Amino acid sequence: MTLACRQYNTHNEGPWLVWLHGLLGDSHEWETVIKACHEYPSLVIDLPRHGNSASIGVNNFVEMSALLHDTLKEYDINHYWLIGYSLGGRIAMYHACFGETSGLMGLIVEGGNPGLYDAIERQNRIAHDKRWAARFRNEPINDVLTQWYQQPVFADLSDEMRQLLVEKRSSNAGFCIAESLETLSLGHQPWLVAELQQLTLPFIWLCGEQDKKFQSIAQQYSLPLTTIPQAGHNAHQAQPDAYAAVINHVLSLFG
């Protein structure tokens, strides 16, 4: 079993860019950024229970990492960078720390939490995600999304942008999002900081300059922070050209 994917710029040589979207997203999320990273081949993955992978589920991060490996193997991708946003960033970090990483050349994470150290915090997060999952299962998805985008992490969004996101994300099936929230909850994710600090491959922590929460996480754990001007939590949507410029620069140094 492998995940649904889209390929871009396959005529190019060099390492592949493998893109992992966030919760509620799909492979189309990255199109504007990929156009500006056209010198490299790209594989854009629909995560389990999202997009064209909606029929595929996983039970934990171990299964997710194995499925990512199988998908890369299916597409004969042997040298690649992982680029992940939010949930996709957490999956990318887990894979880099604990997965089958032969061929992984670098890691770029945007707004992906490296984990919760405290056991009580993890249990609270699991309970938090279960409450949201119950809402996604049982209430109209438009209503749930309207509340979802009122969370503090999305404070930089205008009312117009919130409404656009609600409309865009309403194509998701509520029970699929509920399952993702439960199985891949931050509360179930290992605390990855120690492993991330020991990575020997290039690692970039991208963060919108208005995303104070994730800037603070980077500073607290000495993660390699690069900020994107005039952007909040979802920097690749807010400033795709600036985001792509960072990736192109990093690849020119390490690719």
Indicate the pLDDT class of residue 17, thresholds 50, 70 and 90: very high
Is residue 206 within 8 Å of 243, Cβ to Cβ? yes
- 146 and 109 in one domain? no
**Sorting pLDDT into bands at 50, 70 and 90, what band is 166?**
very high
Query: Within this chain, do residues 60 and 163 fall inside the same structural domain, yes or no?
Result: no
Can you give the pLDDT at residue 144? 96
Same domain, 202 and 245: yes
Residue 207 has pLDDT above 70, yes or no: yes
| 131 in the same domain as 110 | no
Least confident of 16-30, 153-167, 219-233: 153-167
Whether 59 is covered by a domain: the verdict is: yes
Tell me: do 50 and 158 sit in the same domain: no
146 part of a folded domain: yes
Domain membership of residue 183 (yes or no) is no
Residues 196-218: what's their mean pLDDT? 94
Q: Are residues 7 and 53 in the same domain?
A: yes
User: Could you tell me if 136 and 165 lie in one domain?
Assistant: yes
Statement: residue 255 has pLDDT above 70: no
93 in a structural domain: yes
| Residue 104 within any structural domain of the chain | yes
Residues of the chain above pLDDT 90, percent: 91
**pLDDT category, 22, cuts 50, 70, 90?**
very high
* pLDDT, mean over the chain: 95
243 and 162, same structural domain? no
Residue 157 forms part of a structural domain: yes
Among the candidates 148, 177, 206, a domain finishes at: 177
Q: How far is CA 4 from CA 26, 27, 79, 83, 169, in A?
A: 10, 9, 19, 17, 18
At which of 177, 202, 222 does a domain end?
A: 177
Q: What's the order of all strands across the beta sheet hosting 104-110?
A: 5-8, 42-45, 16-20, 80-85, 104-110, 203-208, 225-228
**pTM score:** 0.96
Statement to judge: residues 55 and 166 lie in one domain? no
Q: Of the candidates 158, 177, 196, which is a domain's last residue?
A: 177
To which H or E segment does residue 19 belong?
A: strand 16-20
User: What's the CATH number where 77 sits?
Assistant: 3.40.50.1820
Do 102 and 158 lie in one domain? The reply is no
- Same structural domain for residues 194 and 230? yes
Residue 54 domain-assigned? Answer: yes
Same domain? 110 vs 122: no
pLDDT digits over 29-84, tens only? 999 999 999 999 999 999 999 999 999 999 999 999 999 999 999 999 999 999 99
Domain count, the chain: 2
Range of the domain at 40: 3-116+188-251
Decide if 182 is inside a domain: no
User: Strand locations in 74-157, DSSP E?
Assistant: 80-85, 104-110
| 8 A C-beta contact, residue 50 and residue 21 | yes
